[in-house]
A and B are shown apart, each in its own frame.
Chain A
Amino acid sequence: MKTIKDLKNHIASKVKERKAEKKKARVVISAGTCGQARGSLKVEQALREEVQKQGVEQKVEIKLSGCHGFCEAEPNLVIQPEGIFYQKLKPEDAAAIVSETLLGNRVVERLLYTDRDTKEKAVNEEDIPYYKKQLPLLLGSNSLIDPTSIDDYFSLGGYSGFLKVLDKMAPEEVIKEVKKSGLRGRGGAGFPAGYKWEFCKKAKGDVRYIVCNADEGDPGAYMDRSLLEGNPHAVIEGMLIGAYAMGGYEGWIYVRHEYPLAVKHVNIALEQARDRGLLGENILGSGFSFDIKLATGAGAFVCGEETALLASIEGRRGMPRQRPPFPVRKGLWGKPTNINNVETWANVPLIIKNGAGWFARIGTEGSKGTKIFSLVGKIRNTGLVEVPMGITLREIVYDIGGGIPDDGKFKAIQTGGPSGGCIPESLLDLPVDYDSLAQAGSIMGSGGMIVMDERTCMVDVARYFLNFLQDESCGKCLSCRKGIQKMLEIVTDITEGKATMEDLATLQELAEVVKDTTLCGLGQTAPNPVLATLRYFRDEYLDHVNKKKCEAAVCKELISSPCQHTCPIDTEAAVYIGLIAGGRYEEALEVIKKDNPFASVLARVCNHPCETRCRAGEGGEPIKIRNLKRFITDWGLNKGLKLKAEPAAKNGKGKVGIIGSGPAGLTCAFYLAQEGYEVTVFEKHPVAGGMLAVGVPEFRLPRDILKADIDYIKSAGVEIRTGCAVGKDLTMDDLSAQGYKAIFVATGAHKSLTLGVPGEEAQGVLPGMRVLTAINLGERIEIGKRVGVIGGGNSAVDAARAVLRTGMPESVTIFYRRTINEMPAYKEEVDASLEEGIKIEYLTAPKAVVAKDGKLSACEFIRMEMGAVDESGRRRPVPIEGSEFAVELDTLIVAIGEQPDASFAGKVWGLEFSRRGTLVVDSETLVSDRKEIFAGGDLVTGSNTVVDAVAAGKIAAESIDQFLSGEPVKREYRLTRPSRYVQPVELGEEELPKAEPPSMPHLPVAERKHNFKEVELGLTEEMAVREARRCLRCDLETQDGKDFLEKLKQDSAVAQEVMDA
């Protein structure tokens, strides 16, 4: 092409050709670096072979394109002209694609994208939720063209922007147009591009350089790579337009050598542009000369900083220098230089082609156009997303990203790569633009977005990014090099539980100084991860420092093993699992009993928080820790081991009275007795055990098991007076008079909440707790034929299963207002109840109770649907108007939750109660407003788990001991550590693939449905050992653990030597 007219004609002919071609089938395969890594080239090969085999080469064109953005769905392809999108392809799919779709014009259903929630299949890209909210002005071209073909680019009207400026616009007009568009630099800082161009143009000098910054280095960010790989000519055209506007003499594209495909495609594109006369001397006879060179960087993160980048092009060490003078005045080899990022350059042709006004209409007041983000981390739809500026983070995370995988809970999103900041859930409605992000303490950066969920520790996140930046600091500035090192040192100390509050203050001060005093952007933004996490997640830092607690169970040196750390009573699960794996059951029993007087009970009814963070559960099934515990406690009971505790000698420090014999009260009693106190427990019911005795039905917790644990507690010297209600049979004054120096109140939460719907007082409507208590204590209770239970928690399911077993009802139905996914009851219990023939109506809420002659006849319900995601990140159920329906019932059990019934205590004792009826105590020490009265368990927390009640009992025992010993009452926190280490077992090769958890054997439905026999039968020895061997033994990953392994190795070496000798 020699003249401007040639170019014009050529573009027009190519555009026309493309339109004509629309009739021909064209398969475009996503083949960016990531697509190739997932096997897109194999799919291509298979398709080509298939096309050849079926002899349809003439009818079908197969093309490789750049990345289509949807990484989650790689390898994928689009079939034009219909725009059919096939995803997650394998080479074997080629035959179906060719014969069904290309020849038969039929869609292959199984290759389509299926929505996880609605199960709807999407034929075209636009129908997929991931693409729906996107505005792919730049990335959209990727799926239309072959990046190695300049004619493909022409066919989309490529280079017509350059044609326009060359043909019709003066350089000043071009700059004016870019200024008017409001385009801001996409590299991170967001400087208005047009103004930068103007400065460069006005700077004194004969030579001007135009540079494209393609040194993309943020972990998890790859939008620039995708543009260069998929559409290099857009960047070249942008640079040509810029060079024309500014009077550029030479252009440079600085790209990292880790991007070989981008380098290859850019080189091909430059060659083609030169061939067509678009680069070089006197371009198209216009008198304007410009050429572009490519420089590959060695991969230092700091070379993304403009002055360091220029130094690197010049062949010097990539170290930033002071600005001013800015590169627009003194840049490459001291000449005026304009640097823009890949994405900025790629936007320029669009602005020129469509006009500044068109561009300025997209986005927000201060941030125009679209921005590409790489959405990664704990998110369902990983990939590149191009969205208009001003879209909210919530839309990106939930609508485009599809939310958090495994129904996890969103915690934070890191924008702007390692030197960006974490934005918490409360700011999810923040519009994404330069200024809003900066205000929130983060940056746009080049567009990396890392999503984190509740399994992410924010202190660990700060540590991770500091570690990256420490290695990438060029080392010039003391503040950056040493400052980051020292920040990392302090943060590491925090994650290892070695830091103090003073260290936290030092960290904050240092971070601010590093931000303030460092020369370049790297150092100035390096403290952002620290400052942002300190700002939004300070509680996590405080937990680490003061409580040695890592909520996410990530920080190794703090948590030892996640199972032990998450256990409210510090059970050394990893140790006893290790012992089970080695067949050492008696030792395992000792380890369990040491921290848990209710071992046999909890082995059945614990909600096992230990299993929620189990490492084996990441990408697999967590170790069934509770079932293993049950195997050991049952084994102990059968062998008659550890049935009695050693009573301690009396310490003479006084008598302690405990009100309530539930798990909290008896645990407190046990540990105080072990300390040598005289302990008496007062229980209003005729049996001891509190909720365990009256609330949990026998088929889940056999009475002899409960009795075994209570006998164990009694054997430590605890006296239990049943049938003695404090407040009625005995007053507080009586207790003082009888010499009780301290009181622990743990009366639990036994009052069922009411529905708050009309007609509730009708006869036949029963509170769930009353039903359970009556059945458990063998009292008479009237149950009708048709029973409804309202609620979705354990007490609802327990009540349903218990009444079923009385043999009185003909049908039992549970009504729950959300879906099975949200049900708080244990999943295994829900499954078992379904097996037993209990029906569950989901998305159903009660509206009114219908009574006849004061007696229940039916309940009116309304259907619900899961509505929008609320602040908690969960979908809220909303009623569907007009969906009311009535169900005829004889008995309606209301089990929607319990609260404490502490009316007996209030005024008499002068204690403070909350509006929920719970007793207010110091959450650390459990001491009430009166220094001699302590309280814990459900009475304080509201309805809660058994293990939390046991934990409260332990804490109270410690506080009471301190109080009665005359010490200051203060909770002590320690690092989580096992008391001993156990040699790990090695899994055999054939064992590894079969490493699946055994399922708990159940009593057959017919044998259990009409009696109260225990449903779960317990693991067999073989099952338990097999399961225990699966444990990853995280406890051995701490320094202590490693030292133990090292010593083990040395010992065995010594033993070997002895043997040899």
Chain B
Amino acid sequence: MPNIRIDGIDFEAEEGWTVLEVARILGLDIPTLCYDEGLSAWGGCRLCVVEIGEGDDTRLASSCTYPVQEGLVVRTASKRVVRARQVLMELLLASCPTSKVIQDLAAKMGVQRTRFKADWEDCVYCGLCVRICEEQMMAKAIGFADRGGKLKITTPFDKTSDVCRTCGGCIYICPACQLRCEGSDPSEVVCGRCYNAVQPTCLDHYEDYKCYMGLKGDCGTCITEKPEKETSVKIKK
């Protein structure tokens, strides 16, 4: 059974485990987006990168796909790792600014803005839907097609699938198309209220949080993050 050292903790892991699994057992928090315990590891979002090795000869690798090996030395929160994750988070924010999952992840990591232009995409190509369809629903109805900027997730040859049972698993697991953050301008600022559960002022007026229910910016809470920007927000009485 391989012995590994992770953030200075020596640990005897089971053969076949990944670094991420060890970290989670030890309570070391590594952010993930494309990872799901019930599915095979994919290693696409790169958020779970950790620093592998010692001394000058280290490299970053995705912990969800990295198998434990005897003598492995891992740092899960080195400067290099944290800096890299923050830039990756900015890329995710630029890709899908309205995803509540992404907004919350960003808030958790302390990322408050993205320096990149927003693309307003509906998909981050994390592949969760493809894997749930194949591995849990045994359907293989969808997959990746094409590459580069034309990459898409679709049925074979874009034809209506005869193996899809419209189970909805793909939508259930999607981090991008569900639960929209409708804050004032999600591409420019991460307010972090939802994640931090700071009581937003909209609760003074409503029974529920309003920001992700399509009543864009009405409560005004998220606006406080950017007081210098003039807005025409009115608080409903």
Contacts and interface: CB of A to CB of B under 8 A. Distances in A.
Interface of A: 300, 302, 317, 319, 321-322, 324-325, 470-479, 481-483, 485-486, 489, 502, 506, 509-510, 513, 516-519
A779 B66 CA distance: 89
26 contacts: A322-B62, A322-B65, A324-B67, A470-B148, A470-B149, A471-B150, A474-B147, A475-B125, A475-B144, A475-B151, A477-B44, A478-B88, A478-B92, A486-B91, A486-B116, A489-B117, A502-B115, A506-B115, A506-B116, A513-B83, A513-B84, A516-B49, A516-B59, A516-B80, A517-B46, A517-B84
3 tightest Cβ-Cβ pairs between the two chains A and B: A475-B151, A322-B65, A471-B148
Interface in B39-92: 42-47, 49, 59-62, 65-67, 69, 80, 83-84, 87-88, 91-92
The size bracket of the interface on B is 35 or more
A837 to B, nearest CB: 65
Contacts of B95: 478, 482
B69 A324 contact: yes
B132 interface: no
A169 B75 CA distance: 46
A478 B148 contact: no
Contacts of B147: 300, 302, 471-475
A217 B80 CA distance: 32
Contacts of A513: 83-84, 87-88
A509 B83 CA distance: 9
Given A322-B65, A516-B84, 17 more contacts: A477-B43, A478-B44, A478-B47, A478-B92, A479-B91, A481-B148, A486-B117, A489-B116, A506-B116, A509-B87, A510-B87, A513-B83, A513-B84, A517-B46, A517-B49, A517-B84, A519-B62
A478 B116 CA distance: 14
A317 B143 contact: yes
Nearest to B86: A513
Contacts of A509: 87
A359 B46 CA distance: 42
Contacts of B148: 470-473, 475, 481
B129 interface: no
Contacts of A322: 43, 61-62, 65-66
Contacts of B88: 478-479, 513, 517
Contact of B46 (A473, A474, A479, A486): A479
B22 interface: no
Contacts of B42: 476
B124 interface: yes
B35 to A, nearest CB: 13
B190 interface: no
B94 interface: yes
A478 B117 contact: no
B117 to A, nearest CB: 6
A505 to B, nearest CB: 9
Contacts of B144: 317, 319, 475
Contacts of A482: 91-92, 94-95
B41 to A, nearest CB: 8
B126 to A, nearest CB: 8
Contact of A483 (B44, B83, B91): B91
Interface string B145-189: 001111100000000000000000000000000000000000000
A1021 to B, nearest CB: 51
A640 B94 CA distance: 61
Nearest to B89: A478
A322 B18 CA distance: 12
Contacts of B151: 474-475, 481
A892 B226 CA distance: 77
Nearest to B146: A475
Q: Count chain B CB atoms within 10 A of each CB in A317, A476, A506, A519 and give the residue with the most.
A: A476
A319 B147 CA distance: 10
Contacts of B127: 476
B153 to A, nearest CB: 10
A510 B91 CA distance: 9
Contacts of B44: 476-478
A27 to B, nearest CB: 45
A518 B46 contact: yes
Interface in B12-55: 42-47, 49
A296 B14 CA distance: 40
A478 B149 contact: no
Nearest to A519: B43
Contacts of A485: 149
A517 B86 CA distance: 12
A479 B95 CA distance: 12
B115 A325 contact: no
Contacts of B59: 516
A825 B117 CA distance: 51
A486 B143 CA distance: 25
A471 B45 CA distance: 19
Contacts of B84: 513, 516-517
Nearest to B148: A471
Contacts of B69: 324
A317 B116 CA distance: 30
Contacts of A319: 144
A848 B44 CA distance: 75
A110 B19 CA distance: 70
Which of B42, B69, B148 has the most A CB atoms < 10 Å from its CB? B148
Interface string B82-109: 0110011001101100000000000000
A471 B150 CA distance: 8
A471 B149 contact: yes
Nearest to B64: A322
B118 to A, nearest CB: 11
A513 B46 CA distance: 11
B145 to A, nearest CB: 9
A483 B68 CA distance: 28
A470 B150 CA distance: 10
Contacts of A472: 147-148
Given A481-B125, A489-B116, A510-B87, A321 B149 contact: no
Contacts of A519: 43, 46, 62
Nearest to A318: B147
A463 to B, nearest CB: 15
A302 B65 CA distance: 20
A516 B91 CA distance: 15
B36 to A, nearest CB: 16
